[in-house]
Structure 1
Amino acid sequence: MTRATLAQVLQPALAEGYAVAGVVCQGWEDARAYVAAAEAEGLPIVLQAGPGARAHMPLPVWAAIFHALADAAAVPVVLHLDHGTTIEECRQAIALGFTSVMFDGSRLPLADNIARTRAIVEMAHAAGVSCEGEIGFVGYHDGAASAGTDPEEAARFASETAVDAMAVSIGNVHLQRDRKARIDRGRLAEIEAVTDTPLVIHGGSGLSHTLRADLAAHSHICKFNIGTELRMAFGAALRKTLGSDPDLFDRIDILSATEAAIVNEARQVIGGLRPDRP
């Protein structure tokens, strides 16, 4: 198995009651570690190139990295553009062979968000690519405040855009480190009552492993975006590596030494979203 679309991995998750990890990548080493972790767990993985990663490294380089990893993988790998903000950015990702794009129109008025997301969905589907959208606004820890997803707006958004997945704001926030987020179960139930579209939680690091497992098994949440906790694992491994040998200087040696710790942490994330797996 190699490249997969988001719809190809989320529809089985929705039908069978589990979720898939969307991991935020920052370089070759962590992306490789995430695929190794997914292979060890025997589960699909969504490799995500977010705005910070794209500012650090051009999108064509991310495409090449993701292609190389997916084409050698033993599990389905989704090549995902995370938080695209323009049609042109999504168009470029599709042309480069990404199998999924996320258009973030969450700060736009509802009608504009629907119109732009629908245009990108149509472009993506014509190319055999999936599209994720966002309704409501997922805020940032110590930053912009969230605006909770309105269930009626979610129903309209899902119906009028035909997105393959819908990111919602129900208590989750980006960049939260302490895993103390509280999910609004009532709001989630109202959203699930009006649409069968697979739901996505951004800021998944702010949720405990137990809560993520429960939501994966008992809700329509089929994808959790995980970045902060994995970056924290990398940082800890990097400090340990450098502290253990002050004479280390070779970039390849240093970064390669962090991969085992990242694989171990990623396995907990990925496997925890399907605790009932054989």
Structure 2
Amino acid sequence: MTAASLAEVLRPAMAGGHAVAGLVVLGWEDALAYVQAAEETGLPVILQAGPGCRQHTPVPVLGRMFRHLADQARVPVVCHVDHAYSVEECREGIEHGFTSVMFDGSKLPIEQNIETTRAIVEIARPAGVSVEGEVGFVGYAQGAGSALTRPDEAVRFDRETGADALAVSVGNVHLQTEPTEGIDWAALRAIEAATSLPLVLHGGSGIPPATRRALATGSRVCKFNIGTELRMAFGSALRRALADDPAAFDRIALLGATIPAVRATAREILLELRGR
């Protein structure tokens, strides 16, 4: 199956009352594990290259790797640039095979956020590439605090940008290592009432599994970004591999030993967001 755009997986999810997982990639092993989990479940998956991933591995390499996995998969695989902060970063992703880009204008005045997102949509649309944007600011555990999404700004973004998805801040927080009951359902419902786009929650690792399932099946949140939870599974598996064989030194063998655990965690997430 060929790579899919974000719109191609989110619109059916919104219509069907479920959500799709945006899983944060840091290297070959986790990307492979995510696609294997998607094939095991028969569900689509979004491979996400965030700023850290792109700093570690050049975008042209990531684009080829993501497309290689997507083009051989039996399920839809979205190749997504996450948290790009400029038109140039988005353009680079589009030029190197990504099927979706997320422009993070959350720190900009709403007028500038809308204007820049609209410019990216104009570049992306002819290439068949989807665009996700953000209104409000999703904060970080042990870092900058959040600013909740204002419904009046969200509706302007929805109407004026032509974007395919909207990331919102309703109590979700990046880089949480423990789930917390922080979702402001009233704030989310106000955004849903004012907009029509598929909604995205970043910081999905900090949302308890039962709450993620309830949001996936009972709201217009169609995409959850999840990274920390998967990195923790990777780290635990790597430590076990080293403990089991303290003399081990082969990089391929050590990193390969993490794939089953990461695949199992990804599989649970995919099924959970489907309401299973």
The one-letter amino acid of 1:186's match is: A
Alignment match, 2:16: 16
- CA-to-partner distance for each residue in 1:139-186, whole Å, 9 max, x for gaps? 000100100000111001111001100000000010011101411111
Alignment match, 1:190: 190
**CA shift in 2, pair 1:181/1:51, >3 Å:** farther
Q: CA deviation at 1:52?
A: 0.5
The one-letter amino acid of 1:43's match is: L
Alignment match, 2:143: 143
Alignment match, 2:224: 224
Alignment match, 1:275: 275
- CA-to-partner distance for each residue in 1:48-83, whole Å, 9 max, x for gaps? 000001111111111111011001101000000000
The one-letter amino acid of 1:58's match is: P
1:98-247 aligned at under 5 Å gives the runs: 98-247=98-247
**CA shift in 2, pair 1:90/1:251, >3 Å:** same
How many aligned positions are there?
Answer: 276
Alignment match, 2:64: 64
The one-letter amino acid of 2:137's match is: F
Report SS of the residue matched to 1:132.
strand
Q: CA deviation at 1:275?
A: 2.1
TM-score for the superposition, normalised by structure 2: 0.99
Q: Distance in 1 between matches of 2:182 and 2:41?
A: 28
1:61-100 aligned at under 5 Å gives the runs: 61-100=61-100
Q: CA deviation at 1:131?
A: 0.1
Report SS of the residue matched to 2:262.
helix
The one-letter amino acid of 1:201's match is: L
TM-score for the superposition, normalised by structure 1: 0.98
Q: CA deviation at 1:16?
A: 0.5
Q: Distance in 2 between matches of 1:237 and 1:156?
A: 45
- CA-to-partner distance for each residue in 1:73-109, whole Å, 9 max, x for gaps? 0100000000000101111110111100000000001
Runs of 4+ off more than 3 Å: none
Q: Distance in 1 between matches of 2:155 and 2:31?
A: 34
Q: Distance in 2 between matches of 1:90 and 1:57?
A: 16
- CA-to-partner distance for each residue in 1:183-239, whole Å, 9 max, x for gaps? 111111111111110000000000011000000000000000000000000000000
Q: CA deviation at 1:2?
A: 2.5
Alignment match, 1:249: 249
Contact kept? 1:140, 1:175, Cα under 8 Å? yes
Q: Say what the alpha-carbon RMSD is for the aligned residues.
A: 0.7
The one-letter amino acid of 1:95's match is: E
Contact kept? 2:216, 2:275, Cα under 8 Å? no
Q: Distance in 2 between matches of 1:158 and 1:273?
A: 24
The one-letter amino acid of 1:132's match is: E
Q: What percentage of residue pairs aligned between the two structures are identical?
A: 60
Alignment match, 2:53: 53
Contact kept? 1:172, 1:181, Cα under 8 Å? no
Q: Distance in 2 between matches of 1:41 and 1:210?
A: 19
The one-letter amino acid of 2:194's match is: V
Q: Distance in 2 between matches of 1:189 and 1:111?
A: 24
Alignment match, 1:5: 5
Report SS of the residue matched to 1:4.
coil
Report SS of the residue matched to 1:63.
helix
Q: CA deviation at 1:254?
A: 0.6
Structure 1: runs of 5 or more not aligned: none
Contact kept? 2:81, 2:93, Cα under 8 Å? yes
Q: Distance in 2 between matches of 1:105 and 1:181?
A: 26
